[in-house]
Amino acid sequence: MLELRDVDVFIDASQILRKVTLSAGESEAICLVGRNGAGKTTTLRTIMGYRRPAAGTITFKGEAIGGLPTHAIAARGIGFAPEDSGVFADLSVAENIEIATWTRPGGRPAAERLALAYEIFPRLRGYAARGGAQLSGGERKMLSIARALALDPDLLVLDEPFEGLSPAIIPLIGESISAITRLGRTIVIAESNIHHVPAWTRRLYVIERGEIIFAGTLDEAHRDRAVLRVIGGRAS
């Protein structure tokens, strides 16, 4: 479904990503774990076309997407929920979700896509008429993922969906994301806290200083000393 091979990314003169290689197969959920500043967000933003790889290839459904404009990448079926949620404050909750059904017509009918988004995040249904600015942090995260889902994507890219949320709401969002994987959608999650990595994650990539230093299952990661030294134990 998605494959990055030896991707190098520079921001100004400094190299942020070094030969990043990772892949997510069909209906697979993978997680990219690393500390703040390790390159998680840059990796995801490069997938979304905000950064152009200086070297390496990015393929989605067998086609190269490296260097395409962001909207074209979205149109191919990659739904993105950024770290800051990217909710439009001037639009209502309903409009925030609906916009994705208009920008990418075709595929499943809009009504079905909206119904699915509300089914996964039932809490949003009650807020449909609210403005995007009148939401809590957790609700914004939900809305962001619901909107990505309404794009009817084959791949969802979620940047730290649990970041900054109260412990009470984390399981709620985790359950919703797990429900999305059961729909057969491929998911790539970036996460800074290994304890937040959902148990159903098929494969884990650990990134440190722009390099992938580990690829394997969650269990293997827990047994790997180098990995634990980098991301284990710290933060709750």
CB of 9 to another protein, least distance (A): 17
CB of 62 to another protein, least distance (A): 21
Nearer to another protein, 71 or 229 (CB): 71
Nearer to another protein, 91 or 228 (CB): 91
CB of 129 to another protein, least distance (A): 12
Residues lying near another protein in the complex (CB under 8 A) are found at 48-50, 69-75, 80, 82, 86, 88-91, 95, 98-100, 102-104, 147, 151
200 vs 85: CA distance, rounded Å: 23
Nearer to another protein, 43 or 231 (CB): 43
What residues form DSSP beta bridges with 22? 4
Using CA atoms, how far residue 173 sits from 48, 93, 142, in Å, is 23, 17, 7
Question: b/e for 86-124, b at 16 or more Cβ within 10 A?
Answer: bbbeeebbbbbbbebbeebeeeeebeebbebbbebbeeb
CB of 32 to another protein, least distance (A): 17
CB of 188 to another protein, least distance (A): 14
Nearer to another protein, 73 or 206 (CB): 73
DSSP 42: H
User: Could you give the residue ranges of the DSSP H alpha helices within the chain?
Assistant: 40-47, 70-75, 93-103, 110-120, 122-125, 137-150, 170-182, 218-223, 225-231
What residues form DSSP beta bridges with 8? 55
Nearer to another protein, 25 or 69 (CB): 69
Q: Please, which residues have CB within 8 angstroms of residue 217's CB and are 6 or more apart in sequence?
A: 202, 203, 204
Residue count of the chain? 236
Nearer to another protein, 17 or 156 (CB): 156
Pairing type for strands 14-24 and 63-64 reads unpaired
CB of 140 to another protein, least distance (A): 12
